[in-house]
């Protein structure tokens, strides 16, 4: 009797593990440094996973751990996920996680990892890297900003001078100069991704110095957006749509569509390729999307939309070069 019970238990365990391993559900776990509603970097990935979840239905599940800026804390989560064997893809969404991923991935060769923003897979067959050619949308926003500026002075608030934030701001400056070589772009990096009060005063300083258009990157831009709203001056955003917060001042937002590359990753993993490739969001592959604010009047929206279409076409075709003096300047380290 005891033997029969034992056999039943063993059978049940083996059966449940086998079913779990062979089911058709694609499971993803992701960790990100800020909140999923940050209107910026982390939200862009959360939105992409949500979109894929809606597309794939029961065949897809994901878990998202937000607000893990401390790398050591993220390392614990990543290791637990990898060791559990439950996930087909583990995403470390933040360039600060690169070092721990490089250490962790070789220990779990059967698990696929992805991280960004960066293009370095560390030569590992189970690591994907991803980044965004943020300079492309930055260039378009820069052209538009310079075109609508009356003072010829544009204000930019950045976090730390690395990754896609730097790429966006460099592109913005290039675009502004492309539209108007005399335009002045005031740039302040506040050395923080989260210091809203400081970012707010940085934007206020730009406005006091004559800027009549503002932009910025990272999650602390909620402050500069408030400054734009208060001073009734145009705001250009990046990473996610900030249309709701910048309801009256928003003009255009570069939105990261990580879902474009996630689909490729999922297809690769399902085909047995666990990594070894770097993906880049671009205007050409649809990973970068420039959204026009719905608050604009019909005529303005039409002009802006046409300009975005023309510039996008120019960048995709190569007729418009974002960095003519340094065409290889693409982001290498992430945000």
Partner 1 sequence: MIEEIFTASVFASTLRLATPYIFAAVGETFSQKSGVLNLGLEGVMLMGAFAAFYAVHATGSVIIGLLAALIVGALMGLATAFVSVTLQAEQGISGIGIYLFGLGMSELLFVRLIGTPVSVEGFSRIYIPVLSDIPVIGEIFFNHNLLVYAAFLLVPAAAFVLNRTTFGLMIRAVGQNPEAADAMGVNVARVRYMTVTIAGTLAGLAGASLSIALLNVFQQNLTSGLGFIAVALVYFGRWTPLGVLLGSLLFSFVNALQLQIGSIGIEIPSEFAVMAPYVITIIALVFASKRAEKPTALTKPFRRGD
Summarize as ranges the residues that interact with partner 1 (CB under 8 A).
34-35, 37-39, 67, 155, 161, 186-192, 194-198, 200-202, 204-206, 208-209, 219-220, 222-223, 225-226, 229-230, 244-245
Reduced to 3 states (helix: H, G, I; strand: E, B; else coil), residue 308 is: helix
Distance in Å, CB of 325 to partner 1, minimum: 19
Edge-to-edge strand ranges of the sheet holding 112-116: 60-65, 26-31, 89-93, 112-116, 127-132, 278-281
How many angstroms separate the CA atoms of 172 and 277, rounded? 28
Distance in Å, CB of 199 to partner 1, minimum: 9
Return the number of the residue (38 or 164) whose C-beta is nearest partner 1.
38
Return the number of the residue (47 or 88) whose C-beta is nearest partner 1.
47
How many angstroms separate the CA atoms of 38 and 115, rounded? 19
Residue that has been written with the tokens 């939309």 in this structure: 305
Return the number of the residue (190 or 265) whose C-beta is nearest partner 1.
190
Per the CB < 8 A criterion, the answer to whether 288 and 133 are in contact is yes
How many angstroms separate the CA atoms of 180 and 252, rounded? 19
Return the number of the residue (95 or 173) whose C-beta is nearest partner 1.
173
Distance in Å, CB of 47 to partner 1, minimum: 11
Distance in Å, CB of 243 to partner 1, minimum: 11
Return the number of the residue (106 or 197) whose C-beta is nearest partner 1.
197
DSSP labels, 192-248: -SS-HHHHHHHHHHHHHTT--EEEE-SGGGHHHHHHHHHHT--EEEEES--TTTTTT
Running DSSP on this structure, what letter comes out for residue 265?
Answer: H
Distance in Å, CB of 209 to partner 1, minimum: 5
């Amino acid at each position: 009797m005891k033997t029969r019970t034992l056999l039943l238990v063993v059978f049940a365990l083996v059966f449940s593990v086998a079913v779990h391993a062979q089911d058709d559900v694609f499971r993803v776990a992701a960790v990100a440094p800020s909140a999923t509603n940050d209107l910026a970097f982390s939200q862009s990935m959360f939105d992409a996973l949500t979109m894929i979840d809606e597309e794939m239905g029961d065949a897809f599940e994901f878990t998202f751990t937000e607000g893990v800026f401390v790398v050591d804390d993220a390392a614990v989560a990543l290791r637990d996920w990898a060791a559990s064997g439950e996930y087909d893809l583990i995403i470390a969404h933040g360039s600060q996680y690169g070092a721990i991923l490089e250490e962790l991935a070789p220990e779990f060769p059967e698990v696929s990892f992805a991280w960004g923003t960066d293009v370095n897979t560390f030569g590992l067959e189970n690591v994907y890297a991803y980044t965004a050619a943020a300079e492309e949308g930055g260039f378009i926003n820069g052209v538009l900003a310079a075109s609508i500026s009356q003072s010829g002075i544009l204000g930019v608030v950045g976090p730390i001078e690395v990754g896609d934030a730097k790429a966006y701001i460099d592109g913005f400056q290039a675009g502004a100069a492309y539209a108007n070589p005399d335009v002045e772009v005031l740039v302040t990096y506040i050395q923080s991704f989260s210091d809203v009060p400081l970012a707010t005063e940085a934007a206020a300083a730009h406005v006091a110095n004559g800027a009549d258009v503002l932009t910025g990157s990272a999650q602390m831009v909620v402050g500069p957006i408030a400054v734009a709203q208060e001073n009734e001056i145009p705001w250009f955003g990046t990473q996610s749509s900030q249309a709701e917060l910048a309801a009256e001042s928003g003009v255009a937002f570069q939105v990261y569509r990580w879902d474009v590359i996630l689909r490729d990753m999922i297809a690769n993993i399902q085909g047995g390729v666990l990594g070894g490739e770097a993906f880049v969001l671009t205007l050409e592959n649809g990973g970068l999307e420039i959204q026009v604010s719905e608050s604009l009047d019909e005529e303005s929206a039409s002009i802006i939309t046409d300009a975005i279409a023309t510039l996008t076409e120019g960048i995709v075709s190569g007729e418009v070069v974002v960095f003519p003096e340094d065409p290889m300047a693409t982001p290498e380290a992430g945000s």
